[in-house]
A and B are shown apart, each in its own frame.
Chain A
Amino acid sequence: MSVSAKSTVIGQDAIIEKGWLKTHQWLLLRRVSQLSILGLFLLGPLASIWWIKGNLSASLLFGTIPMADPFLLLQTFFSGHQPDLTAILGALIIFTFYFLVGGRVFCSWVCPVNIVTDSAGWLRRRLGLRKSTQLARSLRYWILAMCFITPLFTGYVVWELINPVSMLHRGLIFGMGMGWSLIIAIFLFDLFISRRGWCGHVCPMGAFYSLVGKYSPLKVSASDRSKCNDCMDCYAVCPEPQVIRPALKGEASGVGPVIIASDCTNCGRCIDICAKDVFHYSSRFANKAEK
């Protein structure tokens, strides 16, 4: 298969070294995770198998275990609503889960919009689109603040009016209607306007889960960084490339090798794409253990 006319193709070295499957294993697992979570929610409406009810905003597993999105529940709290115990318990369960596995595991392993923006990112690379509007990585935190501050004035949840993450997941289960227009807009935004624009710069949900995972134990580590041959493939595929450098290149200054930055989504693409197997899933305490 001719990939493109470019001299070096991202991931080519790894495919030669490790084979296609090894180069895509975490990516494939993530897609399986994303689609099977969606599938579980769809089992009810489509096949009347009600293992899980609701959607990512709030759900009920096996008719007993409540789950709720802590980001959304906090917004209802700021709207002046005192949520019922079920929702608070559900939010605690979800919060604990993402705290343990890494906050932005939500983004890379669960969120349905990730498939959309990953596709846009992939197409962007394939088409060789280099022009990108630079947005500040901190923009999402400003938007996150807005999500919590505006309900204080309006008295209702504001971000949910347009939140494409919940809209896509809800839409796939309950019907999209015109919701597709917003998803297409995000795809085009990521493809033509800003590289990794939505997930990496704008989405306040990602910002929120970054904070949830600030001290998560599960991290990616450049534990074999001495083997790095500077092919730059990991930077090219990483949705948050700024997180790699301190860990990968911090040996001399005593930084790393664990990617500590909470913006890291634990997606494992760097593990896949590295021909030299520099990266591994690890724990945040591996830094101290090595010293």
Chain B
Amino acid sequence: MANKKANSKQQPVSRRQFLTDSGHAACSVGLLGLGLGMYGEQSKTHAALALRPPGALIEDDFLGACVRCGLCVEDCPYDTLKLARLFEPVTTGTPYFDARKVPCEMCDDIPCVKACPTGALDPKLTNIDDAKMGVAVLIDRETCLNIQGLRCDVCYRVCPLIEEAITLNLTQNTRTGVHAIFEPVVHSDICTGCGKCEHACVLEEAAIKVMPRELAKGELGKHYRWGWEEKEKAGRELVPNIIDLPNRMPATEAESLNIAPVGGNK
């Protein structure tokens, strides 16, 4: 008898039952998917100070490629990389580093990229100097010691690409009138975003910070051209016979250059 019962249980469910059950499951799972999608979108815009390892694909692609295995983390010899934990402001399980705590030491052999099994860290990155983990930004000129006329220079000196990624721009110190200001200037085409400068900044809170490039960089309109570059490329005036109006300068400087000052000659 028990066997008969077992057999009757094998009978297919009615169409009505099947449709109801399927609809029920599809709706609940659809809602779950929607919720996860919203959570995903939220965590996609991660904290500005969380940097991806060298060679990481752009964020959208990275989140589709990274399997959160932590092989890059375990192969990082300086314990720079960490895996994000639940409720941290970086997508759960993905590798990142906080430059102020432990910056990237820019290993020549790039072990983190070699360790990545999926290509989320792009194996095409073979020279660490080409890495673009972020870009350093001198974000607070009001506290930067160099901008105030002191000779701190620490960010400049720790930079692995000294004189290339960070240079010192010499200007006059108008406060004292007799001293110089050595302004640290970051060149984003060279800067790898390793974070040594942010890590070394002597202030309580770093005045120079490494940020994801999307956040830090401006971008020209596609149509926009720098006139002087176009002129050089063309090797001639782009608009011939243009009338060059007199330059306007403060009287003292104009005098030394022998051109007309602001407001014309007296």
> Which residue numbers of A lie inside 8 Å of B, CB to CB?
44-45, 50, 53-55, 57-60, 66, 68-69, 72-73, 76, 79-84, 86-87, 90, 136, 138-139, 142-143, 145-146, 149-151, 153-162, 166-167, 170-171, 173-179, 181-182, 245-246, 249-253, 255
Question: Closest 7 CB pairs between A and B?
Answer: A177-B85, A79-B64, A156-B63, A58-B69, A252-B3, A81-B65, A84-B119
In the docked arrangement, what's the CA distance between A55 and B37, Å? 25
Evaluate contact between A173 and B70: CB separation under 8 angstroms.
yes
Cross-interface CB contact of B83 among A142, A174, A245, cutoff 8 Å: A174
Task: Given A151-B64, A175-B85, output 13 extra A-B contacts at Cβ < 8 Å.
Answer: A55-B68, A68-B117, A76-B65, A76-B66, A79-B64, A139-B28, A158-B36, A161-B91, A166-B93, A170-B70, A175-B82, A177-B86, A250-B6
Q: CB-CB contacts of B1-36 with A at 8 A, as 1s and 0s?
A: 011001101000000000001001110111011001
CB distance from B178 to the nearest CB of A (A): 54
Q: Taking the complex as formed, is B153 at the interface, i.e. its CB lies under 8 A from any CB of chain A?
A: no
Evaluate contact between B70 and A174: CB separation under 8 angstroms.
yes
Quick check: which of B71-79, B142-150, B246-254 contacts chain A, the rest being far away? B71-79
**Residues in A neighbouring B91, C-beta threshold 8 A:** 156, 161
Evaluate contact between A171 and B85: CB separation under 8 angstroms.
yes
Cross-interface CB contact of A160 among B30, B73, B93, B117, cutoff 8 Å: B93
A136-B21 contact given A59-B69, A146-B29, A156-B44, CB 8 Å threshold: yes
Evaluate contact between A161 and B7: CB separation under 8 angstroms.
no
**Tally of A-B Cβ pairs under 8 angstroms:** 175
Evaluate contact between A149 and B21: CB separation under 8 angstroms.
no
Evaluate contact between B86 and A58: CB separation under 8 angstroms.
no
Q: List 5 A-B contacts (CB under 8 A).
A: A79-B65, A83-B118, A162-B36, A249-B2, A249-B3
Evaluate contact between A156 and B70: CB separation under 8 angstroms.
no
In the docked arrangement, what's the CA distance between A170 and B83, Å? 9
Q: Taking the complex as formed, is B172 at the interface, i.e. its CB lies under 8 A from any CB of chain A?
A: no
In the docked arrangement, what's the CA distance between A45 and B61, Å? 29
**Residues in B neighbouring A157, C-beta threshold 8 A:** 63-64, 66-67
Evaluate contact between B2 and A159: CB separation under 8 angstroms.
no
Q: Taking the complex as formed, is B60 at the interface, i.e. its CB lies under 8 A from any CB of chain A?
A: yes
Cross-interface CB contact of B32 among A50, A54, A79, A143, cutoff 8 Å: A143
